Structure 1
């Protein structure tokens, strides 16, 4: 409806919609998060978590409304037919742009429970929205370099413990936990520096997904392997706001999680660690093949 506007003006209008949604739903979520702090016992926490997740879903729905109003995107989303809104899902996706988060929320809205992301600890300081993520129990991770860990060995395992505590909270109500296994957004420079064995993906990090599976026990009913593809090239967030993204492809593949992964010791058992890494590697090889096929389908250069 508003996509007739010039791109810069449309970007400003989309930004206003986005900010208004943050202010409105942020206020609601933070108000009830205070109650959760005051009443930290399970009998109160369970209904409050459900309410906060409902506000989160409403926030995603409101974002989808302004996207429909302001954007002219052709959505090709496949693999949603058998998903359950009351289930527990572990979601793994490739990561190319901040737009991926909007794409995932819009594509999976109403099909699975509210998505919870693993976030860098520094993002908690983003005005308003950082506190909202905290209130919704998004886990904030602090990555330490190997050099730092050698000087401060007591910090080793800190992220793992954060993951475990966060996932224990997720076990109270149906939740979807997403992990961008690459750990950062794909760029050709990062890919070349890694010398990754994939054409269109960075090397995946299996530790986070192993910990999430271990912490959630039998709760996760399956893995949702999501592949996001932008036929016109990887967009910036401003590109999306300004209406320059005209087509998005999202492929969802529901896969079983090996049951023995629930009880394995990723950090202490090298045989188990190798098994998880091999499983993730096979997922990434298949995802890379899908991206190559999509590039061929949309007549994009295979080496770009």
Structure 2
């Protein structure tokens, strides 16, 4: 019965994905060949609408085929036409499914910074490209040491993406830990945080530098799984009883907008201090959500 159930869910997901991605790509290609900027911008709402429809179908299937209870706490009103930077902890691919379900059509479409290799994911890679998701190299320190010119490529990609996002409502999502939480990764980092990995500040700083004056607020999202960190298969197999998600709106500190994170050591230290304080608050929220 479980195998039949999973087969049906995967079949419906595949049909929905093809049904939405084909017109999405057609609209994106038409947008790309139009000679007038004003006409191209009209297609942004169409592309976003198709993406939100796909997310809506996925959310309906989550409600229909699972008993997962999503408990949400939201601090303040959310704007469907706002400009947000979302900071979130990251434990599982389930995070993205749940966040899309919670925020779809309540805030602008979430755009993620993706690894460049993900553009080769069948259908979805092209869909992410069509929706202007930024693709990043995410070079290691060893790669940058061998080829110093790589250091500025992701920064340049961030600036190009933010220039596009200025013209449309957007939610820029940053999983600040840079990777999914695992007990091994947590153990290697020490015991700075009980439930989180250490935050990486660079990506947040570059977005605030490029778009700080154009953002309404920071959405600080904490997501917790009281029954343990699940896989996507756990979710589809109805093995995730509860997800708890807390959304806190933070004002953007004026002192952290417009600084030179790369070259100004004092500014970088202030920025990292602020980011660490946000993460300490999030660690406390995780403790509360898990014990609730």
When the two structures are superposed, what TM-score results if normalisation uses the length of structure 1? 0.93
Deviation of residue 275 (structure 1)?
Answer: 1.2
Identify the residue that residue 23 of structure 1 maps to in structure 2: 18
Residues 1:293 and 2:285 aligned together: no
Aligned partners of 2:25 and 2:130 also within 8 Å: yes
Bigger drift between 73-82 and 88-97 goes to 73-82
Residues 1:160 and 2:180 aligned together: no
Identify the residue that residue 302 of structure 1 maps to in structure 2: none
Residues 1:213 and 2:217 aligned together: no
Identify the residue that residue 300 of structure 1 maps to in structure 2: none
Identify the residue that residue 87 of structure 2 maps to in structure 1: 92
Identify the residue that residue 63 of structure 1 maps to in structure 2: 58
Deviation of residue 12 (structure 1)?
Answer: 2.1
Q: CA RMSD in A?
A: 1.3
Aligned partners of 1:9 and 1:242 also within 8 Å: no
The separation in 2 between residues aligned to 1:133 and 1:230, in whole angstroms, is 27
Runs of 5+ in structure 2 lacking a partner?
none
Aligned partners of 1:11 and 1:243 also within 8 Å: no
The size of the alignment, in residue pairs, is 292
Identify the residue that residue 139 of structure 1 maps to in structure 2: 134
1:149-207 deviation line (CA, Å, top 9, x unaligned):
12211111111111111111111110111000011100000111122510111111100
**Structure 1's 269 and 31: CA in aligned 2 closer, same or farther, altered over 3 A?**
same
Identify the residue that residue 301 of structure 1 maps to in structure 2: none
Aligned partners of 2:32 and 2:40 also within 8 Å: no
Question: Equivalent of 2:108, from 105, 113, 116?
Answer: 113
Deviation of residue 210 (structure 1)?
Answer: 0.8
**Structure 1's 188 and 104: CA in aligned 2 closer, same or farther, altered over 3 A?**
same
Bigger drift between 8-17 and 98-107 goes to 8-17
Aligned runs of 1:244-283 on 2, under 5 Å?
A: 244-283=239-278
